[in-house]
Homo-oligomer: A and B are copies of this chain.
Amino acid sequence: MSTNFSITEENYIKAIFHLQEVNGMVSTNELAAELDTKPASVTDMLKKLKVKKMVHYEPYQAFKLSSDGKKLALNIVRRHRLWEYFLVEKLQFGWDEVHELAEQLEHVSDKKLVDRLDAFLNFPRFDPHGDPIPDSNGKMAQQEQVCLTELPVQTQAEVCSVGSQSSSLLELLSHKHIGIGTRLEIKQRFSFDNSIEIKIKDQQLITLSKELAQALFVKKI
């Protein structure tokens, strides 16, 4: 069944998977940007992945993963998120330090290892960033999280995920003492600049810019 894939091939497949979640289809330039490589390299790899039946690709057209490709992608995402969970829960890493390590660990692909790790961790359904972890069949829980911008005034919610892992975002969040698990209440919205005022328990009111609010995902409580 699943022939062996190189680390490079796995990285391409995972990147296509994430990009196609947005538009359904992916372009060569988009993928090159995502992988920090050149369009010419992407074309080469697409031809290879097509031979291996992992993508639906025709020259000069947008492409997407085949069902086999999607299956493999979900498996890679599973490994990535399980290792992230492991690093945070068992090795006491911060949720902002684990992504790069998981990028490496995700390529150790042994079904038994991954399933045992899953069991050891008690089958977690979400990773430390609030993203759902596919189970061994590739199914993932529905993400019950909502963007802060979509939440009505006076609602209480808990931060469960962030929209990016840029260090500039992380810097701002730590400055405002906001992290995964922080509970807050929406106090007021300002239509002029789409900023939001929130209150964290036992703290003063805080203002969040539109940009920041868009990067925060919460679940209602």
Contacts and interface: CB of A to CB of B under 8 A. Distances in A.
A120 interface: yes
A108 interface: yes
Interface of A: 87, 90-93, 101, 104-105, 108, 110, 112-113, 116-117, 120
A116 B92 contact: yes
A93 to B, nearest CB: 7
A91 B105 CA distance: 16
The majority secondary structure among interface residues of chain A is: helix
Contacts of A116: 91-93
A91 B120 CA distance: 6
B91 A117 contact: yes
Nearest to A87: B113
Contacts of A108: 101, 104-105, 108
Contacts of A101: 108, 110, 113
A28 B94 CA distance: 45
A116 B86 CA distance: 12
A125 B190 CA distance: 60
A203 B124 CA distance: 44
A105 B79 CA distance: 13
Contacts of A110: 101, 104
A215 to B, nearest CB: 26
A101 B114 CA distance: 11
